[in-house]
Structure 1
Amino acid sequence: MTELRNQSVRDLLTNAKKASKTLARAERNAALRAMQARLLEAEPEILRQNAVDVQQERQRGTGEALLDRLTLTGARLREVAQGIEQVIALPDPLGRTLDGWRHPKGMQIEKVSVPLGVIGVIYESRPNVTVDAAVLCLKAGSAPVLRGSASALNTNRVLVRAMRLGLRDVGLPEDAVTLIDSADRASVTELLEARGLVDLVIPRGGAGLIQHVVTHAKVPVIETGVGNCHLYVHRDADLEMALNILLNGKTQRPGVCNALETLLVDREIAPVFVPLAVRALRSAGVEVRGDEDARMYAPGVEAASDTDWESEFLDLILALRVVDGLSGALEHIARYGSQHSEAIVTSSLHSAREFQESVDAAAVYVNASTRFTDGFEFGFGAEIGISTQKMHARGPMGLAEMVTYQYRVTGEGQIR
């Protein structure tokens, strides 16, 4: 097997470009099954190397929420393998006629889905992304070039080695899945500037990573991931429902982009709901930072700073503000939201509709947790990321968003 560590970034990208040309007509589902088998076979080594990564990060003082994002267990690895099964079961996204019509001169014009080519994926911590991204790109006929964080490098090496073995097992080029095996940030710059070799870059991670990619890329980018997600509890809310949604959104997995970061409470119910919410959050180990009104109803809450309203904590920390009705909630979200996922709890159909129509976000929830903003949960199989922009793709990106299209025109000698 080719050793990735010995290759320059440009050589990796050149080889990936060449490999991508073979994928549209390949037996891609067979390749995914072979990759799945190799990943399960490599479980002991994957978990061993992951334990090394986790221990190194713990020694660096990394918080528990981020350690959870990094950690693989046997159960999580089997979930990843099950995700491959779900992608295999999805219809082939290539070669679909998206539209078609006849030109007045008699030519048949068809709009047909085709691969993007080489897709660079730059991401932090979560090693499951290594597999999810590779699988989705391959199913869509593109070659992924993966650049994970230094914190997961040992794990990613084993994961990619297993997937490349799976490709070799079915006669496909190993370079259809590539890892940039370097912690050097210069490798990211090379990837972002590789016009002609890279067709698309997708960053997954915190605000700093995404901003760096968007600012420095010379290739197309889909902006994903930063999740400053809000829950607004309306005056007509079922308070028990609101508590359940709040706790699920904040505590189920606090280190992910669809976790809640800010709670907005309608002033009319604040005297009752704020103490209930703070008590429940504290019992779950959440640090609450509130505005002056929230602190009046729940003494002992730490004062929120201006930066707390715009923070993606990715930890057991929550900002809490009392707002003047639906208009106050919408104003706060418009100022501080990241266009990811926003939620309202209310029994008012009118208020629910107004919230959905007014909030500028990829996913808007009524009486449900923001934790559902996820490719698996939306029925897409694995996801490549959650787009917070509006061009080409928005929200959880599955196979349908991983292809482009070309116009195929068939004539009988027509000239213009």
Structure 2
Amino acid sequence: MARESFDKEIQFLRMLVLTSGAYNRQQFAKRLGISVHTFDKTIRKLKEIASASGNGNQSPEEPNKKFAGALRLNYYDSADPLLLFLFRAKSLKESESLRLALLLAALHEKPQTALELLGVCCNAPDAADRALFPDEKTIRSDLRYLEEVGVIKRVPGPRPYRYRMQDDLVRQLTDEELRDLMNFVDVMANTQVPSVQGYLLRDHLKRSSGSGCVSGVGGVSDAGEPFLYKYHYYSRILDEAHLFMLLGAIQNRRKVSFLYFSPKSDTSYASKNTNPLFEREHEGRTEQALPIKVVYDHQYGRWYMLANNSRDGIRKYRLEGMTQIEEGEAVAKELFEEKRSELEARIKHSWLIDTGRAVTVRVRFFHPGGSEPNFVRDRVLLQGQWGQIVEEEDGAFIYEIMVNGTMEIRPWLRSFGSSCEVLAPAMLRREMIEEWKELASYYESV
């Protein structure tokens, strides 16, 4: 799958799950910045990927079910992350995914050389229909790729080199140890970010447990699912497609260039049209910046890149609006550290990433019921970051914190409901009063 295609399908899926199929084909294509023909073609491609991954996104009894309908239905029917299937096909053409599957199946049986694997591909039953027939150079390139990602390893010995599956860990574990490892990976993948790598590892362990890689009979597949999870922001895993590339750019002090669509933009994607007759204006901005930090907002399930832009200084970008990302030139270590220090100073008092003017927020928290344990106090101490309890009252306490602006702390304060009263600043207090009046009006008798 080409990089541009992967960007398109990420934005396509994000809009599909966020709108829950509310748009018709024309509206969807216009919002995404593509043609209706491209919309239909992308739907077909996603159906093929979902079917090939065995994710169950399309019911075999209803092969003609609309893909949007399948997404809307299966979100509540399945505990698996729905959008993960796209990562299994990332950067792979159809012929590549079929060829790699053949290579891995052959290496799972016994160690083999590149020439032996070439024979496996050419002698496959459906090789003629797929016009597979790779050459030796292609097979060696595939083996290098699989070795780099740690799927296979070279067997020590003279030429020609032999390769085997790198599954020593799984083979050495007992059934009970493998079950414990799977449960640990399951918990971490579903409760920590980033999660995609953990999901892929979990799937690999499940396949290993059911394929006789471990001692005993039955493996772990009969143990059932001890944990089930459900996310409020399940589309956030789409942003992880760019996450590790950006973390690599930060580690190597490299600039990145990308086409950016702000959250206020009417479109979220722009295709690269090679035919000048079909060129169209897009609302995205071409940006070049030095990434310094990546931040995850658990309140809204969003990833942010904090970067230095030579034109505007410190800039914040939502990962969901970044497309066509490319690495650029590296910068000197001294310059990178200077920009990092500048950023850290700007966000020192940020509840999340706000770089506005610092204000002191003063809040009275009430303890409902007056009994122990004081869960309101415990939560404030746990989540209140660098804020402090400055005064104790009968059935309440005063909490103070200095933050950059009040926008980011408001959802946290609002989540305490009637157990929280904002005392200062006066503007924040007025805003909270207006919000609660609006909420109260929703519950007036009709």
TM over 0.5: no
TM score, norm. by length of structure 2: 0.25
Q: Larger Rg: 1 or 2?
A: 2
Q: Which is bigger in relative contact order (C-alpha 8 A, separation at least 6)?
A: 1
TM score, norm. by length of structure 1: 0.26
